[in-house]
Amino acid sequence: MNLPKVHFMDLGLIEYQKCWDFQTKLFNKAVHQKIYNRKNPDKKESTKNHLIFCEHPHVYTLGKSGNKKNLLISKQEQDSKKITFFKTNRGGDITYHGPGQLVVYPILDLDYFFSDIHKYLRFLEETVIRTLSDFGLLGKRIDGLTGVWITNKGIPRKICAIGVKSSRWVTMHGIGFNINSDLSYFNSIIPCGIEDKAVTSLKEEIQKEVNMEDVKDYFKNNFINIFNIELLEN
């Protein structure tokens, strides 16, 4: 049995808009290929799957059904702190991306896997949960809330936010996994529109700076095993 092939790339620190444009280009190419294949079954070509790692400069992003009232600072304050803001076409509400956070964008044709977006979200959560386990932490799901949480003491603390878009079973956008993130930036939003929960990071939970390359290696291995893929590194 041939495993689905996924092309991996690490873009490093990249402006949100530039990465969104790059994602969109790959996403649209896959969607257009699927439309072409349906109309021309004798000439069809395979779509490509991608797994993108990156970090972003300080930015707040709002999902398509999110409420901008969950952004608690003015445009003037954002400018003074050099924080950008984007309303996006992903699901979910408001979140923060910044240096020290691992951002993961899988652009997958789910026809290679399963036609179930809820299962896809659970697979993304499971990848994070297993990565946390590699660091000795117990990540949890909370019923009705997408993402991964630490619940071992006090108020549940969100360590990973997830928001995706899909069309014709092709996905884009993905996860923000707080590793060495400066959590003070979350004070200017109501993260994911949830007022009675807190936010945390891997560094905060294990009380020491985390080697990002270690996180990336663990995450990749867990993604490979959970999605049962062959990862092609350029």
192 is catalytic: yes
Residues 130, 226 contacting (CB under 8 angstroms): yes
What mean pLDDT comes out for the span 174-196? 87
pLDDT of residue 193: 66
pLDDT of residue 137: 97
pLDDT tens digits, 95-129: 999 999 999 999 999 999 999 999 999 999 999 99
CA angle, 128 as apex, 107 and 133 as ends, to 5°? 155
Provide the percentage of residues in the chain whose pLDDT is more than 90. 81
pLDDT tens digits, 138-162: 999 999 999 999 998 888 999 999 9
Does position 87 have pLDDT exceeding 90, yes or no? yes
Inter-axis angle of helices 212-227 and 117-134, to 10 degrees? Answer: 140
Q: Which residue ranges make up each domain of the chain?
A: 5-233
What mean pLDDT comes out for the span 79-108? 94
pLDDT tens digits, 188-202: 988 766 667 799 999
Provide the percentage of residues in the chain whose pLDDT is more than 70. 97
Which top CATH class is 5-233? Answer: alpha beta
Local structure of 138: helix, strand or coil: coil
Catalytic residue among 19, 54, 160, 192: 192
> Which pLDDT band holds residue 1 (cuts at 50, 70, 90)?
low
Instruction: Give the residue from 160, 163, 188 showing the smallest Cα distance to 176.
Output: 160
The Cα 221–Cα 205 span in angstroms is 22
Rg from Cα positions in the chain = 18
What Cα–Cα distance (Å) separates residue 120 from each residue in 83, 183, 201? Answer: 31, 27, 23
What mean pLDDT comes out for the span 229-233? 96
